Structure formats: C-alpha cells, structure tokens
Amino acid sequence: MPETIVALWHRLDYDAVVLIKLGVAVAATVLLSWPLIGSQASTVRGAALRDSLLGGLALVAFLSWWNFGHFHYPEYVHPHEHYHYYLGSKYFSELGYTRLYQCTAAADVEAGLGAQIADRWIRNLSTNELERGAVVVKDPSACTNHFSPARWDTFQKDVAWFRAHSSPESWNGIPFDHGYNATPVWGVAGKLLAGNGAVTDRQIFFLSLFDPILIVIMWAFVWWAFGWRTMCVGVIWWGTNYLSRYTWTGGAFLRTDWLAFAVVGVCLVKRNRPVAGGAALTYATLLRIFPAVILAGLALKAGIDMWKRRSWRLDPAHRAFAVGSIIAGCLLVGLSFLVVGRSIAGGVDAWEGFVSNSRKHLATPGTNNVGLKTMLSYEWASRAAVLGPLWLDVPWDTWTAARRRVFDSHKVVYWAAIIASIPLLAFAVRNAKDWVALVMGVGLIPVALQLTCYYYAIFSLLGLLRARSKWIGPTLCGLAAASIVAASLSRSDEDVYTIESALVVLYVIGLIVVMIATDAGTKVLLRQKTHSEILGVEIGAKSVRTIENA
C-alpha cells in the first residue's frame, strides 16, 4: 500500500493537481449547497458525515496549494522571487527601485558574460520599457558608482548565487519582470532578515519558511475567531483557486505576510480586540497598500453611524480601532525611516521613490492583471496573441499602447462603476458588524483596482462571511471551480485573466446585492417575530381577563 501511494504521488504532474483542485472545489460547492437546497431535515449522523467531508476537502485543498509536495516540480524555493525581494531589500540603499536589473547586468559583465548581456533585453525600471543590455555593457560604472568596493563584492557574490541556481533561460528572463516593488515598511523586515553577508543555500531556505509559518498562524486565527467550518471554506478557496496558486509566490520570501496580517486583523476585530485588529490591518496595508481598501467598509459604516447619531465622535470600538491603526502606522513608518532610509532624508527619499515606482507600475499593463480595468482594456484585435511577435522588435510599446487606448475609451464606465459601488457598499454595511464591514470592503478591490492575479488570495477573507450567510460557502467554492475552468479556455494569459476578471467582478457585485437582500430579509423576519410576540401577549391577556370574568 505505501508503495502504491508513493507511485501515485510521483505521477501527480501539474495537470493532475489542477484536476484534483477542480474536483475539490466542485465537491465543496455541492456539499455546502446540499443543506440549503435539499431537505431541511438533518440527522446527527448526516451532519457528522458532512462535517467529516468538509474537513477532508479542506485538508486536500490545503495540501493541493503546495502541489502535494511537488512545489515547483521539484524545487521548494522560488529563486526568481527571492532574487527580487532578497536583493531588492538587502541592497536598497544602492539599488533603489530602478537599478536592480542594471546592476545585475553589470555584475554579469564582470563575471565574463558581457557578450550575452549586450544582446539581452533588459527592462529599464525607470520607464518600464525594454532595451538592449549593450547600454550597461558600455558603461557599468553607472551602476557600480553607487556601491562601496566591499558592498559591490558581496553583491557580485549574491548575483553569482542566483545565476547558479537558475537555468540559463530563466536567468535571461528575469530582467523581463518589473523589479522590486515592496514598500519601505516591508523593507524593514526584508533588510534585517537578509543581513549583510553573502547569500547561502541555508539562508534562502530559512527565509522561505516564514510564509508557511504565517499561513498556518493565519488559519489558526480563523479557527479561533470563526470556528473550523468557516476556516474550511476559506482554506478551500485559498488552496484551489487558479489565481493565487503556488506557482506565483510559493517558496518565496515574505510574500504572504500582507494576507496573514489582514486575515488576523479581521479575526481580532471579530473577537472584540479592535486596537490589535487595527494595528494588524494597518501593517497589512503598509506592506502592500491595496489592503487599505478593506478599511473602506468599516470607514463607511463608521461614517453612517456618526451621521445617525448626529455626532462627530467615533463609536468606542471604532475609536479603539483608529488608535491601534494610528499607533501602528507611526511606529512602522518611523522604523522604515530608521532601517531602510537610515535617516529622515533617506526615509523621505525611500517613500518618494516608492510612490514614483508605484505610479509607473500601475500605469504599466500586464497580461496577468485582474479587475474591472483589465476587462475594459481588452480588445480582440490588439490582444497579446496577435501583437506578441512585435514585442521584441518594438519592445512592449505596441501592446501597452493598445491597452491604454482601449481603456481610455471606456474610462467613463470604469469611474461610473466605482462611484456606483461606494453607496452600494455603504448600504450593505450600514447595519453590519464591524468585522463584516471590513470583509465587505474586499468587494471594492476588483472594481476599483487592477491587481496582479496572485493577490486574489485576499478573497480568503470572503470565506469568513460564511458566519453571516450560509450561501457564501458554496458560491465561493463555486468561484474557485470556475476560475480553474476559465484557465482551460485559452492558452493566452491575457484572455484567461480577462475572463477571470469578469468572474470576480460579477461575484463581488452579486455578493453586495445578496448581503443587502439578506439584511432586508432579516429585518422582515425580526418585525414578524416582534409582531407575533406582541400578538401572543395580547391573546394571553385576553384569556386571563376571560377567566377572571368567568
């Protein structure tokens, strides 16, 4: 039997794992739907069986995110991710946000690879355009002047390590990416953990363990705050959806910290610890910025609450949340000045560099972006599959120009959708609990933002709404299944992620509408219950009077 299991494990290629994920997502959808559409009668044995199946599916989903131990077939560590975030944080003082690829090419030149570098396409991180490496070969001092001799020597050794741990194809492809884009607050942990010595196999493996630890802690918090069944729903989305699979950020260096702190923050608010919850969510925001949208739901609820009370004073719980956020924000930004910037002036430069880099990055289309903006930028005649052959003759320009042109023609629709979604969200959270308002803020992400696909791990938060509505479980698992099916409809990433964008946008719109309808239905039931109770009291009083008169 063990030999059979091992043999089956060895046969689990990527396609087989995807099919298992699809099976788990579909099975979970059916399992969670059954009590809602089937008979309401339930035996203890039937409930226990459903619980056992739900737990089993969640376990398989959890393991499937790691590709059942095949990881990157077969590597656990993701050198490409470590290259960007290890080198980017360790040498931030020398590289900033714009010199990572340039200085890597300069190190390659000094290693005797000048001929290869001259003909290699390298992204200019100041403009995000591709250009030939001949510019770097011609004048490596434009990079080396930023380093001391000792730091340059260590940098060369680090680059040599990553070169040795990458295939020639992947090493030549690294400069096609978009550089190091972390916030200065992320850079605090990144810089301290990377240290100053030359990189080693042991160090990279050690750094790659932080994410798995954070993931386990995150789901433990969900169990603590919401119970294990709700945790299972979140795990099934996280483990099976196509958007945020292990391929992208698995085995990397602190690439799930933002998710862990966002989920933990909501859990703390749920368990009436608003100060700690505010601090955790602020840290998540300062790690990746876009989690700030989560706070929009609570901000809208707090604003409506103040309007109802005709007072500018925050509710005590909201005030405590704000205190935690402010304290955490001041401490974390202050640390970024001291550790990353090393001075007030350096800290200001770091944040100014981050803002400039973010503007450039947000203005650059990508084939794996997801959101309403991705949908509105899509045009059949100018998609990547058609223009792809032009990319290396006219680097990137033709396709990105087409995406921008198409989006500009639909910009009114984009802004109209954002404007319409805000009052809808406000209406949905006006009577909600604080933790529900926070989770509902996730609904703005696909509408207002255009994120890289793997950030949709944030939809794990939507699984927590199972504690508010039983329909969340089957629909979220169904969305995970649909995301896998969508990936099979085309070989073009641009086509696939446009379809994925439509799925997530439609899902959050439906979610907000359903939550509004559920809230209205709950109010009707409460009114009926109150009316019945009053009627019962009146009937009882009449009966007493009748008996007394008799």
CA distance 501 to 498: 5
Q: Is the pLDDT of residue 544 over 80?
A: no
524 confidence band (pLDDT: 50, 70, 90) = very low
Lowest mean pLDDT among 234-248, 453-467, 513-527: 513-527
When pLDDT is averaged across residues 285-304 and rounded to a whole number, the result is 95
CA distance 283 to 328: 7
What pLDDT does residue 391 have? 54
DSSP category for residue 110: I
Q: Is the pLDDT of residue 529 over 80?
A: no
What pLDDT does residue 520 have? 60
When pLDDT is averaged across residues 403-409 and rounded to a whole number, the result is 94
CA distance 404 to 545: 79
22 confidence band (pLDDT: 50, 70, 90) = very high
When pLDDT is averaged across residues 24-38 and rounded to a whole number, the result is 90
When pLDDT is averaged across residues 415-430 and rounded to a whole number, the result is 94
* 3 state SS of 194: helix
Q: Is the pLDDT of residue 521 over 70?
A: no
Report the amino acid identity of residue 91.
Y
Q: Is the pLDDT of residue 392 over 60?
A: no
Tell me if 142 sits within 8 A of 375, measured CB to CB: no
Give the tokens for residue 543. Answer: 């009966």
∠ CA 328-456-287, nearest 5°, is 25
Q: Is the pLDDT of residue 118 over 70?
A: yes
Comparing C-alpha atoms, which of 432, 434, 419, 448 is closest to residue 508? 448
Paired strand residues for 370: 451
CA distance 19 to 240: 10
361 confidence band (pLDDT: 50, 70, 90) = confident
Q: Is the pLDDT of residue 150 over 50?
A: yes
Q: What is the torsion angle, in degrees rounded to the nearest 10, for the CA atoms of residue 292, residue 298, residue 304 and residue 307?
A: -80
Tell me if 438 sits within 8 A of 293, measured CB to CB: no
Report the amino acid identity of residue 525.
L
What pLDDT does residue 501 have? 98
Q: Is the pLDDT of residue 96 over 90?
A: yes
Q: Is the pLDDT of residue 40 over 90?
A: no
Q: Is the pLDDT of residue 49 over 70?
A: yes
CA distance 455 to 438: 17
What pLDDT does residue 138 have? 78
Give the tokens for residue 341. Answer: 């910037």
Q: What is the largest CA-CA distance in the chain?
A: 112
Tell me the pLDDT tens digit for each residue of 56-93: 999 999 999 999 999 999 999 999 999 999 999 999 99
Helices (H), 165-200: 168-173, 184-194
What pLDDT does residue 541 have? 47
Quick one: residue 141, left, alpha or beta (phi over 0 = left, psi -120 to 50 = alpha)? Answer: alpha
CA distance 278 to 321: 5
Cα–Cα distance list, 515 to 33, 226, 437 (Å):
17, 19, 11
CB atoms within 10 A of CB 202: 8
DSSP letters, 114-125, are HHHHHTSEEEET
What pLDDT does residue 319 have? 96
Cα–Cα distance list, 385 to 396, 418, 452 (Å):
13, 30, 19
CA distance 265 to 277: 4
Q: What are the residues whose beta carbons fall under 8 Å from the beta carbon of 114, sequence distance 6 or more?
A: 108, 137
CB atoms within 10 A of CB 469: 16
547 confidence band (pLDDT: 50, 70, 90) = very low
Give the tokens for residue 420. Answer: 């319409």
CA distance 417 to 388: 31
CA distance 364 to 282: 27
Tell me the pLDDT tens digit for each residue of 473-507: 999 999 999 999 999 999 999 999 999 999 999 99
Q: What are the residues whose beta carbons fall under 8 Å from the beta carbon of 452, sequence distance 6 or more?
A: 366, 368, 369, 370
| Mean of all residue pLDDT scores within the chain | 90
Give the tokens for residue 293. Answer: 């949208």
Give residue for tokens 């509710």. 315
Q: β-strands 121-124, 369-370: how paired?
A: unpaired
Tell me the pLDDT tens digit for each residue of 151-189: 999 999 999 999 999 998 899 889 988 999 999 999 999
CA distance 388 to 396: 9
Paired strand residues for 130: 123
Q: What is the torsion angle, in degrees rounded to the nearest 10, for the CA atoms of residue 473, residue 476, residue 478 and residue 481?
A: -130
Paired strand residues for 123: 130
